[in-house]
Copies of this chain bind each other. A is one copy, B any other.
Amino acid sequence: MKAVILLSGGLDSATALAIARHQGFDCHALSFRYGQRHTVELKAAQTVAGALGVVDHKIADIDLRLFGGSALTAELDVPKDRDEAAMGDAIPITYVPARNTIFLSFALAWAEVLACSDIFIGVNALDYSGYPDCRPEYIAAFETMANLATRAGVEGTTKITIHTPLIHMTKAEIIRTGLELGVDYGWTFSCYDPDDQDRPCGRCDACKLREKGFRELGLRDPLS
């Protein structure tokens, strides 16, 4: 049974891939070169894909700098040193407009060509930055739409499922799950704003949430 897995190269999507593999899926990983300033994550995605034995790994080129509007794709400062209360407070400037909708749409296209009805995305609605497109109600609405968008919907042959195995986990639970399934988090990369030598800044939301996860487990991040 095939599945398409959205793979950023970060901690969450690596874990989602490990879970999909553990569930017996033949994994087709999909990453994006979307104009992100932290392209080092694509190297991490390739490492993760190789280490976890995917059947295929595609990188789609979609330059979202065309629209701008996010600190991840435009010359805006990535917020630093925010505590968790601040992260939950409002949608931050690192939010990329409609990014997960675009990513899931491409996954849907590939799934349809593969005649596969399972898509995995490592979104998380607990330890996260308050992005609207990480919430369960959003994912449910995407799934409904996806089933009307495609051959499957018209022909009634299969039902497309958007799997979000991490959505109700804390960052610590995600890391524990991944470790049990053989993920080495040294393969992954989370920072939004690495330095010239691709070292994590340690201060953006992504770094801080990652650090919190390892700390809660009493473990050391292999990247630190």
Contacts and interface: CB of A to CB of B under 8 A. Distances in A.
A108 B142 CA distance: 14
Name the residue among A98, A100, A106, A135 with the largest chain B CB count within 10 angstroms. A98
Interface in A150-188: 150-151, 153-155
A58 interface: yes
A61 B64 contact: no
A102 B95 contact: no
A98 B69 contact: no
Interface residues on A, range: 35 or more
A66 B30 CA distance: 11
A196 interface: no
User: Interface majority SS on A: helix, strand, loop or mixed?
Assistant: helix
Given A60-B66, A149-B98, A154 B141 contact: no
Interface in A70-114: 91, 95-102, 105-106, 108-110, 112-113
A146 B133 CA distance: 9
Contacts of A63: 60-61
Given A58-B66, A148-B137, A99 B109 contact: yes
Interface of A: 58, 60-64, 66-69, 91, 95-102, 105-106, 108-110, 112-113, 130, 132-133, 135, 137-138, 141-142, 144-146, 148-151, 153-155
24 contacts: A60-B62, A60-B63, A60-B66, A61-B61, A61-B63, A69-B112, A69-B113, A97-B110, A97-B112, A97-B113, A97-B150, A98-B106, A98-B109, A98-B150, A99-B109, A101-B109, A102-B102, A102-B105, A102-B109, A105-B105, A133-B148, A133-B149, A141-B144, A141-B149
